[in-house]
């Protein structure tokens, strides 16, 4: 016969055993962590274009031709913001490269940092204030000969991190520029004209794109602002 004391002892033992065998409670899920920049060894800011003397030689080698028609153009024909590594696409890589103290979330989105817009001298304190500009816009490339390329070449052009083709600038300046060539739009910050013209010329030279007469003249004038 089991006494009441015996029943109490058995119940206590059972409870203790159940607690021992029960799975441990799962830790609380933490919010999405903000991580340090990925690939911190990337060069800071846009790759430096060739010096003015080299750019002037490249400008002289560019084919001068009237702009091609926009018939058939679509941004979709230039697959842009391609995946570079992990969750990071080209746009996020440029934001991380061109900014200061940039932090990214686990989807590689810039959630903190500052960016200096070379076009207009503005300091940007949120990634939403920045656009990643194609130095030679996609539509301008189309009018200069990219209409004859295949998709692979257009994708390379739209995601080029090696040459001076991509730069983080203020959204306002990027939208003001649109797809205009240097004879129609120049950076508001005149002190950047030297770098801008050198970069534009080099990208066109690398990709063997045409220039118009007016564009070539404007680029020559901008090169004249470079220190000798």
Q: Where are the domains of the chain?
A: 32-223
Residue 11 has pLDDT above 60, yes or no: no
Residues shown for the chain = 228
Q: Which residue has the higher pLDDT, 11 or 175?
A: 175
Across residues 158-165, what is the average pLDDT? Answer: 98
For residues 89 and 108, the answer to whether their CB atoms sit within 8 Å is: yes
Q: Is the pLDDT of residue 58 over 90?
A: yes
- CA-to-CA distance for 192 and 26, rounded, in angstroms? 55
Question: What is the spatial distance between Cα 84 and Cα 58, in angstroms, rounded to a whole number?
Answer: 29
pLDDT at 24 over 50: no
Nearest Cα residue to 119 out of 62, 182, 37, 76: 182
Give, as one character, the DSSP assignment of residue 211.
Answer: B
Say how far apart CA 31 and CA 190 lie, in whole Å.
Answer: 45
Q: Are 134 and 199 in contact (CB under 8 A)?
A: no
pLDDT-derived band at 215 (thresholds 50, 70, 90) equals very high
Maximum Cα interatomic distance, the chain, rounded to a whole number of Å? 110
CA atoms of 224 and 112, how far apart (whole Å): 38
Residue 146 has pLDDT above 90, yes or no: yes
Q: Is residue 93's pLDDT more than 80?
A: yes
Higher confidence at residue 15 or residue 221?
221
> Counting beta carbons within 10 angstroms of the beta carbon of residue 219, is it exposed (0 to 12), middle (13 to 18) or buried (19 or more)?
buried
* 200 in Cβ contact with 163 (< 8 Å): no
Query: What residues contact 159, with CB distance under 8 A and at least 6 apart?
Result: 79, 80, 81, 82, 84, 90, 166
40-54, 97-111, 158-172, 181-195: which has the minimum mean pLDDT? 40-54
Question: Residue 169: which H helix or E strand, with range?
Answer: strand 166-170
For residue 61, give every residue at least 6 positions away whose Cβ sits within 8 Å of its Cβ, in sequence order, or none.
Answer: 205
């Amino acid at each position: 016969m089991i006494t009441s004391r015996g029943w109490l002892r058995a119940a206590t033992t059972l409870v203790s055993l159940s607690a021992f065998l029960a799975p441990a409670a799962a830790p609380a899920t933490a919010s999405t962590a903000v991580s340090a920049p990925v690939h911190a060894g990337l060069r800071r800011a846009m790759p430096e274009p060739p010096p003015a003397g080299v750019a002037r030689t490249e400008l002289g080698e560019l084919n001068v031709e009237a702009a091609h028609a926009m018939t058939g153009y679509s941004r979709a024909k230039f697959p842009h913001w391609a995946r570079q590594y992990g969750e990071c696409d080209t746009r996020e890589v440029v934001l991380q490269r061109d900014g200061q103290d940039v932090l990214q979330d686990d989807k590689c989105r810039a959630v903190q940092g500052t960016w200096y817009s070379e076009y207009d001298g503005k300091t940007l304190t949120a990634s939403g204030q920045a656009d990643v500009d194609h130095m030679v816009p996609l539509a301008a490339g189309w009018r200069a000969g990219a209409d004859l390329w295949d998709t692979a070449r257009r994708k390379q052009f739209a995601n080029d991190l090696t040459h001076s083709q991509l730069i983080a600038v203020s959204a306002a300046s990027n939208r003001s520029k649109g797809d205009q060539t240097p004879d129609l739009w120049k950076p508001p910050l005149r002190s950047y004209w030297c770098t801008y013209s050198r970069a534009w010329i080099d990208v066109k030279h690398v990709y063997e794109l045409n220039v118009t007469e007016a564009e070539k003249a404007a680029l020559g004038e901008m090169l004249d602002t470079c220190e000798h």
